[in-house]
Amino acid sequence: MNFFSSNFKLGILGGGQLGKMLLSETRKFDIQTYVLDPADDAPGALACNKFFQGSLMDFETVYNFGKKVDVLTFEIELVNVQALEQLESEGIKVYPSSKTLKQIQNKGFQKDFYSRHNIPTAPYKRFTGISELISTLRSGQMTYPFVWKSAEFGYDGNGVKVVRTIDDLENLPETECIAEEMIPFKNELAVIVARSVSGEMKTYPVVEMEFHPEANQVEYVICPARIDAAVAEKARSIAIEVSKKFDHVGLLAVEMFQTNDDEILVNEVAPRPHNSGHYSIEASYTSQFENHLRAILDLPLGKTGSKVAGVMVNLVGAEGFSGNVKYENIEKILEIPGVTPHIYGKKQTRPFRKMGHVTIVNEDMYEARNIAEQVKNTIKVISQ
Known binder of ligand: residue 268?
yes
Which residues contact residue 36 at a Cβ distance below 8 angstroms, ignoring those fewer than 6 apart? Answer: 11, 12, 13, 14, 15, 52, 53, 54, 56, 61, 62, 65
- State the DSSP code for 91: T
Known binder of ligand: residue 1?
no
Residue 358 corresponds to which amino acid?
V
d(CA 293, CA 13): 14
Please state, in angstroms and as integers, the Cα–Cα distance from residue 205 to each residue in 230, 257, 345, following that order: 13, 16, 29
Residue 27 corresponds to which amino acid?
R
d(CA 251, CA 143): 36
Other Cβ atoms less than 10 A from the Cβ of 140: the count is 7
Known binder of ligand: residue 188?
yes
Known binder of ligand: residue 222?
no
For residues 159, 162, 165 and 167, what is the CA-based torsion angle, rounded to 10 degrees? Answer: -30
Angle between helices 288-296 and 17-29 (to 10 degrees): 70
Known binder of ligand: residue 142?
no
Known binder of ligand: residue 182?
yes
Other Cβ atoms less than 10 A from the Cβ of 264: the count is 25
Known binder of ligand: residue 264?
no
d(CA 151, CA 166): 20
138 exposure class (CB count in 10 Å sphere: 0-12, 13-18, 19+):
exposed
Which residues contact residue 294 at a Cβ distance below 8 angstroms, ignoring those fewer than 6 apart? Answer: 194, 196, 286, 300, 301, 302
Annotated binding site for ATP: 107, 149, 180-183, 188, 267-268
Annotated binding site: 107, 149, 180-183, 188, 267-268
